[in-house]
Amino acid sequence: MAARGRGRGRRLMSFSVEAVGISRGESLPPSILQPTPLFPPMEQKPLPLVGGEEVEYMLALKQEFRGAMRSLPFFIQPDAPHTDVERYSDKYHSSEPADSSLDWKPGEAAVAVSLVKVSLTACFAPQTLEKKEEEVSSGEEEGEEKKKQEEEEAEGEEEYDEEEFEEETDYIMSYFDNGEEFAGDSDDNMDEAIY
């Protein structure tokens, strides 16, 4: 805006020149037509970080905490990508821990009281399901007494998933070879049946 006024010779600007401090003959800094640099040079260097025992200890605490969180059941991994065809041995692969804690089935004995009440007042199925989800999730998280048994199971199951799953089958996991290494080698013979 200042440049526009200056070029035309009409010195009408939205703010008074003298008040803000630009005197008549002074040149304004050139206007910049590109975004500011990503790492602009700093005139003042930042202060160094505080050192000391306390700081070191908190640093160690922080890193240990991060490491510990990765090994807890709260660290959720995304689903492994599914292969194109369902294989018989997929049933026996531990692709994800069997979290039957989230398989809440309506009508389970432990959640009888609240669910009975809810099912009486429920309008139709999807809402009932979601209410029950919320019932059980609230029970699981906040520990209401009426769901204590279910939630104890759930807590136990969340933690001991791997072992429980491995107990279920009597076969060694590696026994069930998918056969994918075998099929992957011979890509050109697609008309032959793959066993």
Interface residues with another protein (CB under 8 A)? 13-16, 18-21, 43-44, 46-47, 49-50, 54-55, 57-59, 61-63, 65-66, 68-69, 72, 74-79, 99, 102, 113-114, 117-118, 121, 123, 126-127, 130-131, 133-135, 137-138, 140-146, 148, 152, 156-157, 160, 163-164
Nearest approach in angstroms of CB 129 to another protein is: 9
Nearest approach in angstroms of CB 123 to another protein is: 6
CA distance 171 to 166: 9
Q: Cβ closer to another protein: 90 or 141?
A: 141
- Helix, strand, coil % (nearest 5) of the chain? 50, 0, 50
Indicate the burial class of 108 (C-beta count within 10 angstroms; 0-12, 13-18, 19 or more).
middle
Reading the block at residue 108, the tokens are 């389970």
Nearest approach in angstroms of CB 9 to another protein is: 18
Q: Cβ closer to another protein: 134 or 180?
A: 134
Q: Cβ closer to another protein: 8 or 66?
A: 66
Q: Cβ closer to another protein: 4 or 186?
A: 4
Nearest approach in angstroms of CB 149 to another protein is: 9
DSSP state, 21?
T
